[in-house]
Structure 1
Amino acid sequence: MVKIAFILLCHKDPQAVIQQARQLTAVGDCVSIHFDANAPRAEWDEIRAALEGEPNVTFARRRLRCGWGEWSLVEASLGAIRAALDAFPRATHLYMVSGDCMAIKSAAYAHRRLADEDADFIESVDFFDSDWIKTGIKEERLVYRHYFNERTAKRAFYAAMGLQRRLGLRRAIPRDLSIRIGSQWWCLRRGTVEAVLDFLAERPDVVRFFRRTWIPDETFFQTLVRHLVPETQIRSRTLTFLMFTDYGMPVTFYNDHYDMLLSQDYLFARKISPEAKVLRTRLGRLYASDRTEFAISGEGRRLFQFLTGRGRVGQRFAPRFWESEASGARERELLIVACKKWHVAKRLVGSIKHHTNIPALDYIFDEESAELPDLGGIQATIPKRHRHRRTLMRMLFDFYDSDRLLICLDTGSTDLMHDFFSDRPNVRLLEIECQFDDAYLEGHARRVGLAGARSSAETMAQLLPTLRNDLRGEVDRLRDARFPAHYRLRQASGVEQNAAAIEGFLSVPAATARALAQTPNLFQD
């Protein structure tokens, strides 16, 4: 039978700590608390007075002053872990949480989840080969000894590291350890935690190494668990849902995030705003409930990136990155069909291939599986196609031995269009203007990962207006670009108007243009 001992690291808001401890223990689980010694003594006394008599609550024997990125965070965790193992002999799992974490599933659901899978849940990826560290120093975290805190003593931190570098004082990583990195919010089986403590008792050199490592809470447990536990018993993921902004700061959740949080494939979430009183109350009741069925859609991260990214569209000031020598020949003509509904563009392109001899390709910059000839590997992946786009287009013109070539682009790919129009004088654009009902938008949201198959109606109601505005914004940016030779094919227009647009775009006879405008089921979803 699963029984969780929560390792609660906190440093503020004693009333919230008390409430959190009571919510977690109300269903029989346990809590071991470390309250940062940087906090006022009165706040610590308040917590002790409120929880001292609770049988399922214990406290780390020593309060430590914790600093972000320092060994003190790991040491505080170890203190709370030892207290939990001593006080709760029946605890089967230890789960690391902070004062900002709250359950987003019921205890019954969490217990069943852990019982069904005999494994340790800890994000643990290769320190050197992964791209887990997005900014800042990487190898320097390990090979130099860190005596100062980069946040509170920046000059001393970098001066000490620079001195070690100049003097060649790199230190060796313990030979038998493969350093791993990941989130500090893990859930481990009791036997795994006991094995870690036994290992530390035998290997003081490992403690010395991590004591002078920068941000060891992201590498210490992640490395040792991988060292001690078979890979088949490790799930390299956290059970705590957390997201980060573009600036590396944790995303904070508020009252209106309740439905979204419940639909994520996690047991807890971080960070819940202290001001989100309603959310905290609802989540506390949820953990104590007997609810075991949740509709998991998992769209949270993609949805957040989409919604927060709208304000930065068009703010790209990077230099162009095509190879200058790969400009297209002056006499060649590039035809671009731009359409958000890819199936509509593909139907038209299929009809163009049938009625003309113009080489035509589908969404080669959007679809990995788009059919392309073998061009020596430059066509192998979408990143390569984007990186060498000028060269790719020149090679396609050569391959088809044609002075005319047609490709499809998404209406959001205005950066590509700008590059193509600036590269050659002979570019024509046919924009296909489609109508978007709610059913299509819902399907589109699921296809691109903004929503899951079981996203709630509330989530979709919040998403669809933003998605509709986003599509409208793409059209506005396309129109604002004022590309020359810009033709429009409209779902709402008649055959004659659309035939005229196609005739101008392709320079084909009127009869051919009319046949293309009458392509069967052209706009049908």
Structure 2
Amino acid sequence: MAEIAYILLCHKDPEAIILQAKRLTAAGDYMAIHFDASASPAHFAEIGAALKGNPNVVFSKKRINCGWGAWSLVQATLYAVEAAEKAFPRATHFYMLSGDCMPIKSAVYAHQFLDNTDIDYIESFDYFESDWIKTGMKEERLIYRHYFNERTQKWLFYQSFNLQRKLGLTRDIPSDIQVQIGSQWWCLRRRTIEAILKFTKERKDVMRFFRTTWIPDETFFQTLVRHLVPEVEIEARTLTFLMFSEYGMPVTFYNDHYDMLVSQDFLFARKVSPEAEELKLRLGKLYASGNADFPISSEGRSLFKFLTGRGRKGRRFAPRFWEAEATMGRNRELLIVACKKWHVAKRLVDGIRRSSDFPVIEYLFNEENTPLPDLGGIQSTIGKRTRHRRALVRMLFDYYETDKMVICLDSSNLDLIQDFYADRSKTKLLEINCDFSGDYLVGHAIRVGLAGESPSEETINSLMPTIQQDLVYESDAIRDANFPMHFRILQKNSPAKNALPLAEFLDATPEDALRLAEIDHLFSD
């Protein structure tokens, strides 16, 4: 049976550290703690006094000041690992944690999970070939020597770096290692830890190299594991669930994230807010429970991306300054059909196309393959169409030599609707309000990437409130905008009742509008 030695680096919040240590060791596991030497001595004394009688807790023999991006983080980890390896001979796995981490599975589940496969879990991707580093320094992290801390000694850091670059003072990477990069939150088997500790004593050249690299906690263990362990015994992933915002900052979890967290295919989560007392209490009880059955959905990252992405689709979008003066033409009339169910809108506008003499263009801002004429490249991608939306529509008016045109938009495209209404041209909006069955909502979740191809019932149940609320929000947002000449047809209405707003929207006769409202299976899925 697996027994885990947790490696905890921390520098604050002594009460949380004490609780975490008691919680994890109560299940029979172990913990080695390195408390930052620059942190409060009173806090360290408090932690030591509270855990003094716990035989499953050990402190690193040496404590050092730790700095972000510096070698000190790796050295502190090595001190804690050495203490754990010596103090806990029964430990089969060593799991790297921070004070912001919390278990999202039970100890029983974690032990069974680690027993199932004899492998190391550590993100480790080729430093130069992978795209793990998105921006900033890459090769420069390694080939120059970084003696100063970029956060606390910024001027010295960049003066030293610029001087080395000016003088060409580069260095070679040790020839027999292939530098890897990945998350610092790993779980390694005992024999891997023993091999790493032996390597650190034998290969002083490699140790000297990494001591002056920048952000070595993302490369040191990752590189050594790949150097020392056969590839078939490594899974390049972390067992700690973490996400980053679009600004590169760690996403923080709060009380209402419990259900989402425990359904992820991970053992721990980072980082949990210090204020999320209810969440920490529930997760603490979960770890001590004997529960070994957890339905896994793993939609956490896609759900977060979907929800935060809503801002880019109309909730905090502002027109770009170069679009502000672009106009489609004062005497032109743009008719917008907004509908979440694209097939319903397409049926309606196909009827409009057959019964009128003005052009109809389907979801040109939502579907890449919408048929469009060649307009010099502005139509080539959805990104270009959206950035230059007024210019694109103006060119379509010119191409078709018309002053009246129908386009379809997804009902989430509130920003586009607002921008077109802000133009000097005349704009009308027809909103098609559809009913949404459970099967449709599941299909929608799959289409937008919230769920996999065959989501479990638990996944569906957890996602339904989010999806339903999002659809309600879209419709409410359109109505709250108070657009002039905003017409609505509803699935629940009779064709005769829907014909009235259709006639006003299209300036059509009542008879023509009724024929459109009576299109066979207009609202069918």
TM bucket, shorter chain? 0.7 to 0.9
Give the structure 1 partner of residue 238 of structure 2.
238
- Matched to 2:145, the amino acid is R
Alignment of 1:70-219 (within 5 A): 70-128=70-128, 130-134=130-134, 136-219=136-219
Deviates more, 1:235-244 or 1:311-320: 311-320
Measured after TM superposition, the shift of residue 507 of structure 1 is 6.4
Name the structure 1 match of 2:320: 319
Deviations 1:448-490 (A, max 9, x none): 355774457995697468535632454147645x5xx765434
Same amino acid, percent of matched pairs = 58
CA distance in structure 2 between the aligned counterparts of 1:129 and 1:364, rounded to whole angstroms = 36
Cα drift, residue 72 of structure 1: 0.4
Shift of the 443–401 alpha-carbon distance from structure 1 to 2, 3 Å rule, reads: same
Give the conservation status (yes or no) of the 8 Å contact 2:69–2:214: yes
Aligned to 1:23: 23
Q: Which amino acid aligns with 2:21?
A: A
- The aligned runs of 1:451-466 (5 Å cut-off) are 453-455=456-458, 463=466, 466=469
1:471 maps to which of 474, 477, 490: 474
- Quote the offset at 1:352 in angstroms: 4.5
TM-score for the superposition, normalised by structure 1: 0.81
Deviates more, 1:439-448 or 1:95-104: 439-448
1:37 aligns with 2:37: yes
Deviation at 1:104, TM superposition (A): 0.8
Post-superposition offset of 1:364: 4.5
Counterparts of 1:178 and 1:446, CA distance in 2: 39
Gapped runs of 5+ residues in structure 1? none
Contact 1:17 1:47 in 2 (8 A): yes
- 1:35 partner letter: F
Cα distance, 1:387–1:465 mapped onto 2, change above 3 Å: closer
Distance 1:331 1:167, change over 3 A: farther
Q: Which moved more, 1:242-251 or 1:105-114?
A: 242-251
Kindly state the Cα deviation for residue 70 of structure 1 after the two structures are TM-superposed: 1.0
| Structure 1 residues 309 and 157, CA gap change in structure 2 (3 angstroms) | same
Report 1:261-276 matches (<5 A).
261-276=261-276
Q: Following TM superposition, by how much is the alpha carbon of 1:291 offset from its aligned partner in structure 2, in angstroms?
A: 0.4
- Does the CA contact (< 8 Å) of 1:310 and 1:470 recur in 2? no
For residues 5 and 510 of structure 2, the distance between their equivalents in structure 1, rounded to whole angstroms, comes to 76
> 1:341 corresponds to which residue?
341
Task: Give 1:97 deviation, angstroms.
Answer: 0.6
C-alpha contact (below 8 Å) 1:438/1:464 kept by paired residues: no
Displacement of 1:105 in angstroms is 0.4
SS at 1:264's partner residue?
Answer: coil
Aligned partners of 2:74 and 2:217 also within 8 Å: yes
Deviates more, 1:121-130 or 1:283-292: 121-130
CA contact (8 A) 1:441 1:467 kept: no
Given that 2:442 and 2:460 are in contact with CA atoms closer than 8 Å, whether structure 1 keeps it comes out as: no
Q: 1:476 to 1:343 in 2, by over 3 A?
A: same
**Closer, same or farther in 2 for the Cα pair 1:117/1:353, shift >3 Å?**
farther
Summarize the Cα distance change of 1:443–1:319 in structure 2 as closer, same or farther, 3 Å threshold.
same
Query: Are the equivalent residues in 2 in contact too, given 1:307–1:466 (CA < 8 A)?
Result: no
C-alpha displacement of 1:396? 8.4
Structure 1 residues 88-147: Cα deviation after superposition (integer angstroms, max 9, x where no partner): 333322110112211110111112222223332222344455554455544443333222
Cα–Cα, structure 1 residues 524 and 184, in superposed 2: closer, same or farther, change >3 Å? same
Q: What letter matches 1:114 in structure 2?
A: L
Residues 32 and 80, structure 1, Cα contact 8 Å, conserved in 2: yes
Root-mean-square deviation (CA), in Å?
4.3
Q: Which amino acid aligns with 1:471?
A: E
Match of 1:408 in 2: 408
TM-aligned CA deviation for residue 423 of structure 1: 8.7
- Please give the per-residue CA displacement for 1:232-256, whole angstroms capped at 9, x wherever unaligned: 4433322112233455443333344
Q: How many equivalent pairs are there?
A: 520
User: Whole-Å Cα distance in 1 between the matches of residues 177 and 477 of structure 2?
Assistant: 50
Residue 8 of structure 1 aligns with an amino acid whose one-letter code is: L
2:16 aligned counterpart, secondary structure: helix
**Distance (whole Å) between structure 2 residues aligned to residue 174 and residue 418 of structure 1:** 58
Letter of the aligned partner of 2:366 in structure 1? D
Q: 1:351 to 1:469 in 2, by over 3 A?
A: closer
Q: Secondary structure at the match of 1:430?
A: strand
For each residue in 1:374-426, what CA deviation from the matched residue of structure 2 results, as whole angstroms up to 9, or x when unmatched? 97998886546656878987998999999987543212224445666789958
Tell me the amino acid that sits aligned with residue 97 of structure 2. Answer: V
Counterpart of 1:290 in structure 2 is 290
Classify 1:346/1:228 alpha carbon distance in 2 versus 1 (closer, same or farther; 3 Å).
farther
Against the structure 1 CA distance between its residues 478 and 50, is the aligned structure 2 distance closer, same or farther, given a 3 Å change threshold? Answer: closer
TM-score of the superposition, structure 2-length normalised? Answer: 0.81
CA distance in 1, matches of 2:399, 2:27: 69
**Partner amino acid, structure 2, of 1:284:** G
SS at match of 2:150: coil
Instruction: Report the CA distance shift for 1:46/1:130 in structure 2 as closer, same or farther (over 3 A).
Output: same
Query: 1:17 and 1:433, CA in 2 relative to 1: closer, same or farther beyond 3 A?
Result: same
The structure-2 alpha-carbon separation of the partners of 1:106 and 1:493, relative to structure 1 and needing over 3 Å to count, comes to same
Residues 489 and 469 of structure 1: CA distance in aligned 2, closer, same or farther (over 3 Å): closer
